[in-house]
Chain A
Amino acid sequence: MSVDESTVRRVAKLARIAVEDHEVPKLKTELDAILAFVEELSELDVDGVEPMTSVTPMRLRLREDVVDDGENAERVLANAPAREGDFFVVPKVVE
């Protein structure tokens, strides 16, 4: 399996990582190498095998349905790159 350059651009878009035109051929080579490596799995017969969903057998527990945290706006916002009052600031998303 190998990818073409438009797939590299599409994946970069999905991953929300800006990629410059000159980086595309190198990324394609690297992704091809990794995909060729994992291709080995296709030789295995996995019919009827359950995909793993939990590595150790455990039941998920439910906690008490009570508020036990919150009112921490200052702490939550302390590392914000941009804030106004108790809000994170982002570029305008609706016109």
Chain B
Amino acid sequence: MSDLLDFTFAQARTKLAAKDFSAVELTRAYLDAIEAARPLNAYVLETPEIALARAAESDARIATGEAGALEGLPLGVKDLFCTEGVRTTACSRILGDFTPPYESFVTQKMRDAGAVMLGKLNNDEFAMGSSNETSAFGAPVNPWRRSGSDAPLVAGGSSGGSSAAVAARIALGATATDTGGSIRQPAAFTGTVGIKPTYGRCSRWGIVAFASSLDQAGPIARDVRDAAILLGAMAGHDPRDSTSADREVPDFEAAVGRSVKGLRIGLPKEYRVDGMPAEIEALWEQGAAWLRAAGAEVVEVSLQHTKYALPAYYIVAPAEASSNLARYDGVRYGARVPGRDITEMYENTRAAGFGPEVRRRIMIGSYVLSAGYYDAYYVRAQKVRTLIKRDFETVFAGGVDAILTPATPSAAFGVGEMANASPVEMYLNDVFTVTVNMAGLPGVAVPAGKSADGLPLALQLIGRPFDEETLFSTAAVIEDAAGGGFTPERWW
């Protein structure tokens, strides 16, 4: 039954409705594939009993004509989303065996729409990382390998379990989160499609917080249409998240296949960074040519504060993280390490519970927020953020509908390859994605070509606030033009 894994969700939806196969059969095929793919380390917890029970409920709803938008979809859930009665760790030791008594708003919506949870997916500890190597469960392995090599590659981060699972066909879709590139970079590294919607599109309620003014949930999916279907079911207003946008969710799927004729696409000149590999540059030009051929007008634009986005991010994100992660004190949930008094208990608990990258970011955050440094660092970074957002506003006000850039500065790199690099070198992975979070905009990564050694490469499209539809239309044109071939050879 392995061919069941070949269908996209849009295809499976038709087959399920026609009763060509059942949701239970589809789910079983995925559960078998998960078992065979354990060397990829994509799942940190498998929930086969829950999956089969929910698939049976899906079959019952399909039989009575009550199928929801995601009915029967075998879904992987990033371990940053709280799932009722199912261990949720953010891939950190400090959460121990935390078992939420509630379900995140986004996963509840997906469950209500008929999605079938297969299990919880690996991620960087508290979503802090670009290779998923900071996870307490170890890194997931990219199902892609360089041609002629069996060296394990990273699946990107922080949503590396989500990207690895979708690429390896051990989840038909996955939830993910993106604070500086954590949906788009792993999607780019694995030949999958990932969209970070506009800030406020998806509720953050029940998602473990990293940097609250930057965090957004979104899907990683097999193709653009599936990403649109998934996002449609994830988005929507939630009164429990005060930053959740109270506005209608459009029919994203209807935007897939819509013409881009007459759209104006901007190419920001500041994204031509020093040392950009020739194959990335060529991919970018190819993408522009495809859009031109589809009738779009391609223009050069300027986002002049681009180079300050990453340094500003590394003040704002750690500052917010140091505040958000203050709650892990060994009192109400998670692991506790005793001490002589309460302060020592906090210190011992946090020293044992947080990994090195999380500890580093909390310390940077504590430093930039401390007396005497707050104005010089944090306030200045928030001013820079205003300038970055203004750059985008000026470009969009000038009649540009979407911005096309590379998604990452390189293809996937090897597991452990960056072990001796400075933390800053790892941060450079997010150089093309981080501006989007700083400005609260939607961004999508879509596979567009391959590197010389056969690894997927992606382009990024950035849209106006709440205009994910243009991104889906434009990404679908690139996807069609690229012509597929983004399924890795199975070696596991």
Contacts and interface: CB of A to CB of B under 8 A. Distances in A.
Interface stretch (B50-58, B304-312, B395-403): B304-312
A81 B198 contact: no
Task: Give the size category of A's interface with B.
Answer: 35 or more
A34 to B, nearest CB: 6
Interface in A34-81: 34-35, 37-42, 44, 46, 49-53, 55-56, 58, 60-61, 63, 72, 75-76, 78-81
Interface stretch (B14-22, B136-144, B381-389): B381-389
B200 A46 contact: no
- B interface, over-half SS: helix
Contacts of B465: 56
B199 A56 contact: yes
B330 interface: yes
Contacts of A31: 360, 363-364, 367
The 8 A-B pairs of least Cβ separation, nearest first, read A55-B440, A51-B382, A79-B333, A81-B336, A18-B351, A18-B347, A46-B383, A75-B101
Contacts of B308: 40-41, 44
Interface of A: 3, 7-8, 11-12, 14-19, 27, 30-31, 33-35, 37-42, 44, 46, 49-53, 55-56, 58, 60-61, 63, 72, 75-76, 78-82, 88, 90-93
A37 B381 CA distance: 13
B199 A17 contact: no
A37 B308 CA distance: 10
A88 B332 CA distance: 7
Given A46-B387, A88-B332, A90-B331, A17 B363 contact: yes
Contacts of A50: 383, 386
Interface of B: 96, 98-99, 101-102, 198-200, 213-214, 239, 242-243, 245-246, 305, 307-308, 310-312, 314-315, 322, 326, 329-336, 338-348, 350-351, 354, 359-360, 362-367, 370, 377, 379-387, 389, 422-424, 427, 438-440, 465
Contacts of A51: 379, 382-383, 385-386
A81 B350 contact: no
B199 A33 contact: no
Contacts of B339: 91
B342 A93 contact: yes
B377 A38 contact: yes
Contact of A33 (B200, B246, B311, B424): B424
B350 A56 contact: no
Given A44-B387, A49-B386, A55-B440, A16 B423 contact: no
Contacts of B214: 55
B338 to A, nearest CB: 8
Contact of A78 (B99, B350, B351): B99
B359 A88 contact: no
From A33, A42, A81, residue with most partner B Cβ within 10 Å? A81
A30 B360 contact: yes
Contacts of A90: 331, 342, 345
A28 to B, nearest CB: 10
B325 to A, nearest CB: 9
B354 A49 contact: no
A34 B128 CA distance: 15
Given A38-B315, A55-B199, A56-B198, A81 B335 contact: yes
Nearest to B325: A15
A70 to B, nearest CB: 14
Nearest to A15: B366
Contacts of B312: 38, 41
Nearest to B344: A18
Contact of A41 (B213, B342, B384): B384
Nearest to A39: B311
Nearest to A14: B366
A55 B389 contact: yes
Contact of A60 (B242, B344, B370): B242
A72 to B, nearest CB: 8
B423 A30 contact: yes
Contacts of B330: 81
Nearest to A63: B239
Contact of B334 (A34, A72, A79, A92): A79
15 contacts: A11-B363, A14-B367, A17-B362, A18-B350, A18-B351, A31-B364, A33-B424, A34-B423, A41-B381, A50-B383, A51-B379, A51-B385, A60-B242, A79-B332, A91-B345
Contacts of B198: 56
Given A15-B350, A31-B363, A79-B333, A56 B245 contact: yes
Contact of A91 (B342, B364, B383): B342
Contacts of A78: 99, 101
Given A18-B350, A19-B351, A34 B364 contact: yes
B200 A56 contact: yes
Nearest to A72: B101
A42 B376 CA distance: 8
Nearest to A8: B363
A3 B151 CA distance: 39
A75 to B, nearest CB: 4
